[in-house]
Amino acid sequence: MSSPEDEKALIERAKEDKDAFGQLYELYVDRIYNYVYYRTGNVADAEDLTAKIFVRAMKHMPRYQDQGVPFSAWLYRIAHNLVANWHRDHSRRQIVALDDITHWHVGDESPEFATQLMEDKASLLSSIRRLPADRQELLILKFVERLSNAEIGDIMGRSEGAIKSLYHRTLLSLRDDLPERNGRPQSAEPVKTSLFQRPFSRRRPE
């Protein structure tokens, strides 16, 4: 997509034209799949849910209205709701898929988190998995999807200020939890092979 104006025109066409919606699908399917995979932890469920997300998006496309946030935020919000329903229906605790954490993008605003990510991934991963589901999702949206606080707030149904506060509380919680866990013997995490073997691609940091 060459410009935001081009994307807006494509979105308008997609309200009536399935081929145009197919172009939007190609633009966003890998990002949405990555998000769902990180929320579910396995390929089969991620593929199934990703398909359902785009079916729902196509169904509701004629009623889509630009609310001043990227189109992707609308797709993420659909994904957020479907994944939440999936976890509730299956009585599952939401988890982070751990094998790709080395590719998380941590900016300058989180130097302590970046340092811990480099120094002791096993302890950090264990601590992340102990977090409540909403904080795990926040980390995924922040460090995997690289979304802004405003975009994350739109997806999670919270204000930008609430997301900023939750983000800082999450980092403080991890900081406090890590020394405690580092003082106890840690069981080794099982090694996982690459799970992206189907028609989706893993996005790499630039």
What is the per-residue pLDDT for 58? 96
d(CA 66, CA 168): 30
112 & 48 share domain: no
Contact 104, 117 (CB under 8 A): yes
Residue 120 has pLDDT above 80, yes or no: no
pLDDT digits (tens, 9 = 90+) for 5-15: 789 999 999 99
* 131-180 pLDDT per residue, tens: 888 898 899 899 888 899 999 999 999 999 999 999 999 988 888 887 66
> For position 123, which CATH number holds?
1.10.10.10
Looking at residue 53, its pLDDT comes to 97
Please count the structural domains in the chain. Answer: 2
Residues 135 and 178 in one domain: yes
Residue 157, in any domain of the structure: yes
Which pLDDT score, from 0 to 100, does residue 204 have? 44
Q: How high is the pLDDT of residue 125?
A: 77
- The answer to whether 32 and 48 have CB atoms below 8 angstroms apart is no
Dist CA 3 CA 16 (whole Å): 21
pLDDT at 76 over 80: yes
The burial class, CB within 10 Å (0-12 / 13-18 / 19+), for 96 is buried
Residue 197 has pLDDT above 80, yes or no: no
Q: Measuring CA to CA, which residue among 44, 14, 45, 50 is closest to residue 32?
A: 50
117 and 173 part of one domain: yes
Domain that holds residue 40: 4-89
